Amino acid sequence: MVAVGRNRGSLDSLAAIDPRVVPAPLTGDRAVDGPAIRAAAGPVDAVVDTLGAVPSPESTMAGFDAIRPDGAGSSSAAYGTICPFRTATSCTVG
């Protein structure tokens, strides 16, 4: 289980609860965060994004960038889209 987020302290607290939790802190740069999530997780089977109000979809898209071929993702983020999909399809955000 990879815990992804902006608050390193919260991620470390989650990792302290269960050694199977691997923290992956976000930088805000999709080009950096997607590969970092994949490196922490190995091939990602699924991403479930339940972010609250965020200024951009970059962190969500970084998670989706980390999904293996034929993996699945779902987002209900507050920037205005609900988009369940498999990696063979795409989603318009906005």
- DSSP secondary structure, the chain, as one string: -EEEES-HHHHHHHHHH-TT-EEEE--S-HHHHHHHHHHHHSSEEEEEE---S-S-SHHHHHHHHTEEEEEEEEE--TTT----EETTS-----
pLDDT tens readout for residues 36-94: 988 988 878 877 777 666 677 788 888 888 888 777 776 665 444 445 444 444 444 44
pTM of the complete model: 0.69
What is the distance between the alpha carbons of residues 78 and 50, in angstroms, rounded to a whole number?
9
